[in-house]
Amino acid sequence: ETGVTQSPTHLIKTRGQQVTLRCSSQSGHNTVSWYQQALGQGPQFIFQYYREEENGRGNFPPRFSGLQFPNYSSELNVNALELDDSALYLCASSLVSSRREQYFGPGTRLTVT
């Protein structure tokens, strides 16, 4: 166990709806990264939060947004859900944003119908 927790475990939404996913980082870790993992693929970087600010973003549209709170926990928000948003959403925590190992949570399985 990494100490990184995510909620909910599974979620089913309808196209056009909005969703919020949550992540609690490992104790002592101040950086949270979010990834999208489609079935049979490797994780793709969405963005990273450090000290409550976005600190890097991958190739995802603005309808993917996030927050980090003072306790370093984080939220991923996705607006106007599309069918292709169906995936496993992973968060990973690490210490600062430098080249350090990052530890993943179990993920949230999102299904968009």
CA quadruple 71, 72, 73, 77: dihedral sign: positive
Cβ distance 47 to 34 under 8 Å?
A: yes
Distance of closest approach, residue 72 Cβ to other proteins, in angstroms = 15
Query: Is residue 107 near other proteins by the rule CB under 8 A?
Result: yes
Q: Which is nearer to other proteins, 40 or 70 (CB)?
A: 40
Footprint (CB under 8 A) of other proteins, residues 2-41? 2, 4, 31, 33, 35, 40-41
Query: Is residue 90 near other proteins by the rule CB under 8 A?
Result: yes
For residue 50 the two structure tokens come to 């450090």
